[in-house]
Amino acid sequence: MSRLAKKPISVGKADVSVASGVLTVKGSKGTLTKRVHPSVNIAVESGSVAITPKDSSRLAKALIGTYASHVKNMVQGVETPYVKKLILDGVGYKMEVKGKDVVLTVGFSHTVPLAIPEDVTAKVEKNVMTLESANKESVGQFAANIRRIKPPEPYLGKGIRYEGEVIRRKQGKKAV
């Protein structure tokens, strides 16, 4: 059994409710919903959420830790949104937000447009893109999708990287 799920999760200012297999978390920064697996029981008490398995199956024991993390991330996200920053390095490389798309010019013969998910807001200042959302999964996945287009290369470090990410550089050819 998960150590995370053994302790009740404090809710803080968020409003948590479970109805007909759907977990809903409301807060000042938004509302998040998630379907609950049938072998997991989520009980909302005053100021805390308890997660227990409905049966003693291996799947139920494995899922309670996962759902404990989901609830914790949802409660934290509706109070303070998650932020990911992406940095673009390279001569002639640029990124911009056009309507509901992010358009990347990263050395290909064409520009690469990516649709921004509805719950994510994107801002670009020079070569730094800031992604913000109450949903940790969607902001992380969208940041990973952007980075996957042009990951940083090990010789010059050109490409898209996360803020704080360390790129291991290679030496390259030696002149004789």
Please indicate, yes or no, whether residues 67 and 13 belong to a single structural domain of this protein. Answer: yes
Per the DSSP assignment, residues forming a β-bridge with 112 are 104
Token pair in block for residue 87? 């940095």
User: pLDDT digits over 25-63, tens only?
Assistant: 999 988 999 999 999 999 998 889 999 899 888 998 889
What phi and psi values does residue 49 have, to the nearest 5 degrees?
-125, 130
- Reported as type and span, the H/E element at residue 54 is none
**Quick one: pLDDT at residue 47?**
85
Report, as ranges of residue numbers, the positions in the chain whose pLDDT lies below 70.
Answer: 1-2, 176
From 79, 101, 130, the end of a domain falls on 79
Helical packing angle, 58-79 and 136-149, nearest 10°: 90
Determine the pLDDT at residue 1: 62
Tell me if residue 72 falls in helix, strand or coil. Answer: helix
pTM of the model: 0.88
Q: Is residue 173 part of a domain?
A: no
Assess whether 92 and 111 both reside in one domain.
Answer: yes
The whole-number pLDDT of residue 176 equals 66
* Residue 175 within a domain: no
Give me 60's structure tokens: 């139920």
Residue 107 sits in the same domain as residue 38: no
Q: Is residue 167 part of a domain?
A: no
**Do 95 and 109 fall into the same domain?**
yes
Are 86 and 142 members of one domain?
Answer: yes
Q: Read off the tokens for 18.
A: 């479970």
For the chain, the domain total comes to 2
